[in-house]
Amino acid sequence: MRKSLVNGMLILALAIPTQSVLAKSRILATGGASPIEGGGGGGISPWAVIAGYASTSEWGSSVFATKVATDDLQLDVAGVALGFNNRFELSYAEQSLDVDPLGLTLRQKVYGAKVKLFGELLYTKMPQFSLGLAYKKHRDPAVPELLGATDDSGTDVYLSASKLFFAAVADRNLFLNATIRSTAANETGLLGFGGPEDSRSIVFEGSVVGFLNDQWVVGYEYRQKPEHLSAVAENAWQDVFVGYFHNKHLAVVAAYADLDEVAGLPDQTGSYLSLQITF
Amino acid sequence: MSSPGFPLQKVSLVMLLVIAAGCASLPAEKPTLYQQFGGAAGVNDLANAFIMRLAEDPLVVDSFADTDMDQFHGHISDQFCNLMGGGCEYTGRDMVEAHQGMNIDPRQFNALVEDLMQAMDDVDIPQGAQNRLLQMLAPMYGDMVQ
Ligand code: HEM
């Protein structure tokens, strides 16, 4: 399954028009990393940046694979994103969560679209604002429904603002992102959508990233989560990370993630590792 | 008031001495941005490295086809020196006037910024100093890109 997805992604990425519009004109790291729901962003939260390095009239793309491993959970994600003109982004990601103590696997697909509205990440006072959609479809809805989820699919709508501040702290560059999201998803959708407590919520997400130099970054992310289910608790997620942007083709992010309580399993802390390839 | 004020005076004196000693032993002042770029010679080297990078960059090189590069070298050096507080006078045109009619797009602007970043690496400018120059240049985007 995973193999066919990765093959599909590679074919897609290679099908991107090459040479004349071979996209690489944006500055290193400005496409962000690959969040678990795909597109351009941090590890657990989307940013206003457009995935890849495409600037005016250019196409860019990224493919990624991420593994999050906590005491009882294993989340595997793989996905692809396309960016055009540093304005439009389309993305696709597959998530698969193994809940070890219960012998369960929960999977969903995430289709994303994002458009940059106004502002500029690097050069203007006005931060870059983008509006995004993520349509999520669960593939194993029986368990989420048992827990009280009312739907097996849902659409997130989010507004993100991103800004890089040059020489902001000890002459180092500082990146900030804030995202506000309207979502029906429980545990990003892996526990279905909606529930007895509520059908939809507005949540806040924030990322702070410090650039040690042009290639190495360190950061912190926070993601507020809704509480639609009554059978199991849902908590905010956080992580601290180190990212390395080798060049405009390869980036690696490693993090320590705190997912708190997920699916009735308390204190889920562990590692996050993500590999991103950009063309 | 007739009581010996000596403890307070003594304390004040000790404090003064401590402050004075503290000042005297402060580390040498942080080099200015201009010094971090190596002063006049360093800025001159950077301008050379920058022009080399521009000349190799297909996204910008054509724009400079009719440019007097000696004059550009002088003006860009003066501009950088002036921004860094090196005391030079910039005698070129303002940024809107110098770039109007070129239809500079974000792609070219990014390309030129990247050329400058690479040029600063070429001449070993420390990261923090690089960031400070970029901080001063970034707002010029609106003067050049519509
Ligand atoms: C922050 C970015 C930039 C800075 C600080 C900058 C600075 C300067 C300066 C100081 C001059 C000399 C003006 C004069 O001699 O009167 C100049 C000229 C010029 N710049 Fe820029 N520039 C920037 C971006 C760009 C970009 C993106 C392009 C296009 C690719 C460009 C193309 C040119 C050209 C072709 C000239 C020469 C104009 C002529 O020959 O008349 N510049 N620039």
- Residue A137's DSSP bridge partners are A109, A153
Q: Which domains does chain B have, with CATH numbers?
A: 33-144 (1.10.490.10)
Name the residue facing B141 among A123, A167, A172 (closest C-beta).
A123
> Residue ranges per domain, chain A?
3-278
Task: Please judge whether A172 and B117 are an interchain contact, meaning their C-beta atoms are less than 8 angstroms apart.
Answer: no
Q: Does residue A3 register a pLDDT over 60? A: no
- Residue matched to tokens 């200015």: B32
The phi, psi pair for B128, rounded to 5°, reads: -60, -40
pLDDT tens profile A267-278:
999 999 999 999
C-alpha closest to that of A59 among B93, B107, B51 = B107
Ligand 1, CB within 6 Å, residue ranges: B 60, 63-64, 67, 71-72, 75-76, 79, 92-93, 98-99, 102, 104, 108-109, 112, 137, 140, 144
Q: Does residue A17 register a pLDDT over 50? A: no
The chain-wide mean pLDDT, for chain A, equals: 93
DSSP state of A33: B
pLDDT tens profile A158-199:
999 999 999 999 999 999 999 999 999 999 999 999 999 999
What mean pLDDT comes out for the span B128-144?
97
Q: Radius of gyration over alpha carbons of chain A, in Å?
A: 18
A128-138/A201-211 β-pairing: unpaired
Determine the length of chain A: 279
pLDDT tens profile B32-61:
999 999 999 999 999 999 999 999 999 999
CA dihedral angle for residue A258, residue A262, residue A265, residue A266, rounded to 10 degrees: 40
The chain-wide mean pLDDT, for chain B, equals: 88
What is the value of ipTM here, to two decimals? 0.88
Burial (CB < 10 A; 0-12, 13-18, 19+), residue A167, is buried
Q: Does residue A20 register a pLDDT over 70? A: no
CATH superfamily of A3-278: monomeric porin ompg (2.40.160.40)
pLDDT tens profile A228-246:
999 999 999 999 999 999 9
Distance from Cα B92 to the centre of ligand 1, integer Å? 10
Question: Which atom of ligand 1 lies nearest, measured to the CA of B141?
Answer: 1
Q: B122 CB near a chain A CB, below 8 Å?
A: no
What mean pLDDT comes out for the span A77-86?
96
Determine the distance in angstroms separating the CA of B138 from the nearest CA of chain A, rounded to an integer: 5
Q: A126 CB near a chain B CB, below 8 Å?
A: no
Task: Please judge whether A27 and B114 are an interchain contact, meaning their C-beta atoms are less than 8 angstroms apart.
Answer: yes
pLDDT at residue number B24: 54
Alpha helices in A54-129 (DSSP H): none
What is the number of helices (H) and of strands (E) in chain A?
2, 12
Distance from Cα B121 to the centre of ligand 1, integer Å? 20
Q: Does residue A120 register a pLDDT over 90? A: yes
Confidence of residue B146 (pLDDT cuts 50, 70, 90): confident
Which SS3 state, helix, strand or coil, does residue A5 take?
helix
Give the closest residue (by CA) to ligand 1 atom 7. Answer: B76
Classify each residue of A147-161 as buried b or exposed e, where b means 16 or more C-beta atoms within 10 Å of its C-beta: bbbbbbbbebebebb
Task: Please judge whether B110 and A25 are an interchain contact, meaning their C-beta atoms are less than 8 angstroms apart.
Answer: yes
Rounded to two decimals, what is the model's pTM? 0.89
Residue of chain A nearest B142, judged by CA positions:
A124
Q: Radius of gyration over alpha carbons of chain B, in Å?
A: 24
Q: Is the distance from CB of A143 to CB of A134 less than 8 angstroms?
A: no
What's the token pair of residue A243?
């990212």
